[in-house]
A = this chain, B = another copy of it.
């Protein structure tokens, strides 16, 4: 990668295409091994081109996290999209249904409240459409989802099944609390508990004579680290395309499996810090997903093209400056560093484009199609 990354304007988000390819293949292999469909979450890359790579590698469809994020993928012809977010605003739902209908996209929405079910049903009815809806189950993150210790899942499945404009399409969960796990074993325990909870909820719904067409789970840690996923029919990991320091800290990935980095230039040096032109408006202040603070700094820097691989911690961020503790290394103003971020998803969200870099030192600029799609 040497020549071109030394000359492009910084800060620059760079994706190593070979690592990206391997990560995409590995997810497909993991899903195949457990007999589940793969529906990657594209919130991590927001790129139509990467979504198409995932589809070519065997993904069954994609997952998005908001209505606006779905739009570039619908327009690009991705045929099967789950909006894994409880939409409750009728205009958002209606706009999405119209766009999906215009492009013949198979859309699946989710709900965890009667309010959400009614909103989707109203918009579907207004269009004479039938919309697939899954029930979101809270498996421990305590964010969205019905409480599996109650009969709320059966109740909501019944409400969906009873609406002529809706089709009950199974249950869906996200074990985001795996990101707070202290050890890989703790991640595995969370994956097991999620699976057992989901199978039990599905069984309870089926005992109400309502077929559960899909049991969908998804987070990169629990898809990578688990003791089997029998009974699960769909996986929705997202971050795995890039990986990041959060995943290495969890034991999910090795440093060599991180596909995304930020190339920055040293603009100033003092006795403690090399100051680079990547701050919180480039790297984000995330210290881990879901507000966790599992990482103490804001990234790990390496001298670009240096072979010594000495880690230089990014210890603080201003908006446009990163404070890299140089530990006595003689960094020069003008030289470039490669920074591995804490959380790749929020880095991409701040970029308009990424440089897709090949092993021969060339690159292409790929747009972040759903960048700053707001609502």
Q: Which residues of A are interface residues toward B (Cβ below 8 A)?
A: 9-12, 43, 65-66, 85-89, 91-92, 112-113, 115-116, 119, 136, 138, 142-145, 147, 176, 265-273, 275, 277, 280-282, 284-287, 289-291, 298, 315-321, 323, 332-334, 345-346, 349-352, 371-372, 374-375
Contact = CB atoms under 8 A, between A and B. Distances in A.
A285 B345 CA distance: 13
A115 B333 contact: yes
A317 B348 CA distance: 17
Given A289-B319, A291-B316, A352 B333 contact: no
Contacts of A291: 280, 285, 298, 315-318, 323
6 contacts: A88-B265, A115-B333, A115-B334, A116-B333, A281-B349, A291-B323
A255 to B, nearest CB: 23
A318 to B, nearest CB: 5
A346 B320 CA distance: 11
B9 A92 contact: yes
A268 B334 contact: no
A372 B372 contact: yes
A266 B284 CA distance: 25
Contact of A89 (B9, B318, B323): B9
Contacts of A317: 290-291
A273 B143 contact: yes
Contacts of A320: 43, 65-66, 85
A319 B142 contact: no
A24 to B, nearest CB: 21
B144 A268 contact: yes
Contact of A346 (B277, B280, B351): B280
A89 B265 contact: yes
Contact of A375 (B9, B87, B350): B9
B346 A88 contact: no
A71 to B, nearest CB: 13
Given A142-B272, A268-B113, A268-B143, A10 B89 contact: yes
A284 B275 contact: no
A351 B333 contact: no
B144 A267 contact: yes
Which of A147, A176, A285 counts the most B-chain CB atoms under 10 A from its CB?
A285
A145 B175 CA distance: 45
Contacts of A285: 284-287, 291, 346
A286 B315 CA distance: 14
Nearest to A138: B270
Contacts of A12: 374-375
A267 B352 contact: no
Contacts of A112: 268
